[in-house]
Amino acid sequence: MTKRSPLLLLVLPLVVCACATTGPRIPSGEVIDMTHPFDEQTIYWPTAEGFHLQKESFGQTPKGYFYAANSFSAAEHGGTHIDSPIHFAEGHPSVDQIPLEQLMGEAILIDVSRQCAANPDYQISPEDFVGWEKEHGQIPNGAIVLLRTGFGTRWPDRKSYLGTDERGPEAVAKLHFPGLHPDAARWLTGNRSIKAIGLDTASIDYGQSSLFESHRELFAHDIPAFENVANLDRLPASGFVVIAFPMKIKGGSGGPLRIAAILGQRH
> For the chain, which residues make up each domain, given as ranges?
31-41+76-263
Map residue 56 onto helix, strand or coil. strand
The pLDDT of residue 6 is above 70: no
Q: Tell me: the pLDDT tens digits for 155-205?
A: 999 999 999 999 999 999 999 999 999 999 999 999 999 999 999 999 999
Beta strands per DSSP E along 122-265: 123-124, 143-148, 179-180, 194-199, 225-227, 240-246, 254-263
- pLDDT of 18: 44
- pLDDT of 28: 76
The pLDDT of residue 3 is above 90: no
- pLDDT of 265: 65
Average pLDDT over all residues of the chain:
92
Assign domain 31-41+76-263 one CATH number from 1.10.287.130, 3.50.30.50, 1.10.150.110, 3.90.400.10: 3.50.30.50
- pLDDT of 16: 43
Mean pLDDT for 41-68 is 97
CA distances from 239 to 100, 106, 263 (A): 21, 8, 7
Mean pLDDT for 28-53 is 96
Q: At what angle do helices 182-191 and 126-136 cross, to 10 degrees?
A: 50
The pLDDT of residue 22 is above 70: no
